[in-house]
Each structure stands twice: as structure tokens, then as C-alpha cells.
Amino acid sequence: MNNVVKYYYEINLINLSKYNEKYAFDYNGSRYIFLKFDRNENDIKGLVEICNELKKRNIMTNELIRNKFNNYLTPYNGELYIMIKQNIDQYDVTFNDILYVQNNTVNILLDKYLIRTNCISLWENKIDFYEKKSKELSDKYLLIYKTIDYYLGLGETAIMYLANNNVRIDNIVLSHRRLTDFYNPLNYILDSRARDIADYFKYLFFFEDCTKEEILFLLKYINLSREEYILLIARLLYPTYYFDLIDNVLFHNYDEKIIRNIIRKGSLYNKLLKELFYYINYQLGMNIPIIEWIIKT
């Protein structure tokens, strides 16, 4: 890999370290990451535009680096790689980080290839995949086999809730495929404000042991439209937290015991959703449709 970086970027490396299929090195006082480009090639133009726009708006971002042929994508062993200059060290994202980026990127429409507002079709594909896969799980992954139907049901409820309410998305903002590695351009997409907020709430509840009271307190700091609150509920219903973990079990050889904490918190999470319905409808007066089985929890 040293020779690849030397040839394409004309950098003589001394220490090149590898972690999680990424290659990292320090050069002229900066940290660089060389990694596989795990997106559609059509996305690269939009990602570059977003990075440039963020710089103009004084919003922090890591930087995509061209090779000596003035291309952002570099071929290696039949795959495409990309170089990123790490202007911001990776750290756990805060709610203020999310709100700051959202408030400063409202309707930042640049490249339509990056818009990911059609979540229903993506969710349906995921559920179809796991419904077919579930029959194969009983022998090797008994815990997943016993619990997956419940989470597939949650996903289907989220899809029906969105489909029945015909939500229009007015505020497109810079969002993230996942909130880990918040300033990595390969993580950037364009979506509604509800996306990152919902993902953050789920992260706090399932992985940071935050109480429902702490999460409800954060609602005071957001000002969404009625349709965005419907989106928020749908995204909170959809169990990305569960599907991401079982993806790691099935495709990256993680122990299935990693889902135990998720399962243990299931009933408490339903109570959080119930409290969110009450807060949104009675304190904020948004009058969004309720889901009966959650209200009866």
C-alpha cells in the first residue's frame, strides 16, 4: 500500500498503519486516511460539492484529496479507494453538533444523487431480506431467530405509519448514513432533519443508557414541523439499532450476545415512544396520528 500512496499521491510514507480496512498516516502535521470508497461512483461529485459548501459556511468537515491525476477515486486491486485529510479528530457526536449542522445547511440542495428521503423503499428491502434470511438462523443464531420477528414487525409498523400519512419533506439538510464518524464526507447524505435526531435518540437510549426523561428534555431544543414529527416517530420506530448489530453478527463474525442489551430495553423503549406521542400532541399541539398499541403500552 505504501507504493500505491507514493505513486498516486507522490508522498513518501514512513509509518502506515492499518485498522478496520483503513490505512492511516501522518504527513506535514496532518492525519490522512486512505480507504475503500464504499458508495456509488455517482456520489463523488456531490460529496465534493458538499465539502466545498461546508467550508464556505465555516462548518467543520474532513477533506477529500485528489490524486496526482486530479481524480478523487484511486484504483487498487480492482476496487476504488479515496484519500481523506482528517481536519477534525473523531469523537462522540453531541446533540449540539447535530443541531448546528442542521441549522446551517437547511435546503442545501446540491447534487440530487445524495438525497435519501425515500426511506420506505430502503426499509422494505431490508425487511424483505431478513424475512427470507430468518429461516436460516435457528441453527447458528438462536437468539436472533427468537427475536427478529418482533423487530421486523417494528419496521413494518414504521413503514405503514409513513405510508399512511403521506409526509412531504420541506427541510432538506446535511445528514449522515450513520452518526459515527460525523465529519467523514463518505458519511454525508441529504435528508430530513428528523433522520439524525432520531438516530441520536436511539443511540442515547440503547448505547449510552440515557433515560427517557433525558431524551424528552432534548425535545425542547428542536423546532420541527408537524410532518417532521411524524417522520421522527417513524424513524424512531424503525429498529436500525437492531439491524446494524445483527449485520455485524451475520457478516462480520460478531457474537450474537451483542443484541442482549437491545432486547432487554425493548419495553422501556416502547414507553419512551408513548411519552413522545404525548409530548408532541399535548404539549406541542401537533396532533400527529397515534399508534394504538404503543399508547396502550
- The whole-angstrom separation of Cα 165 and Cα 36 is 39
Going from the C-alpha of 291 to that of each of 42, 160, 233, 282, the distances in angstroms are: 39, 10, 10, 15
Which triple of cell numbers denotes residue 243? 439491524
- pLDDT-derived band of residue 257, with 50, 70 and 90 as boundaries? very high
Burial annotation 98-109 (CB, 10 A radius, 16+ → b, else e):
bbebbeebeebe
pLDDT (0 to 100) of residue 109: 67
Domains within the chain, CATH numbers bracketed: 2-86 (3.30.200.20), 95-295 (3.90.1200.10)
How many CB atoms are located within 10 Å of the residue 196 CB? 26
Query: Which one-letter DSSP state was computed for residue 39?
Result: S
| Cα–Cα nearest to 93, from 102, 104, 105 | 102
pLDDT (0 to 100) of residue 13: 72
- Per-residue pLDDT, averaged over 148-154, amounts to 97
Which triple of cell numbers denotes residue 10? 507522490
Measure CA 113 to chain center.
17
Burial annotation 110-134 (CB, 10 A radius, 16+ → b, else e):
bbebbbebebbeebeebbeebeeee
Which triple of cell numbers denotes residue 247? 449485520
SS3 label, residue 220:
helix
- Per-residue pLDDT, averaged over 282-296, amounts to 95
Query: Mean pLDDT over all residues of the chain?
Result: 93
SS3 label, residue 175:
strand
20-76 pLDDT tens trace: 889 999 999 999 999 999 999 999 999 999 999 999 999 999 999 999 999 999 999
Query: Is 80 within 8 Å of 37 (Cβ atoms)?
Result: yes
Give the side-chain half-sphere CA count within 13 A for 284.
22
Burial annotation 159-172 (CB, 10 A radius, 16+ → b, else e):
bebbeebebebebb
Is the confidence at residue 133, as pLDDT, over 70?
Answer: yes
- Indicate the Cα dihedral angle 234, 221, 169, 188, nearest 10°: -90
Query: Which one-letter DSSP state was computed for residue 22?
Result: E
pLDDT (0 to 100) of residue 108: 81
Strands 17-19 and 30-36: unpaired
- Per-residue pLDDT, averaged over 201-212, amounts to 93
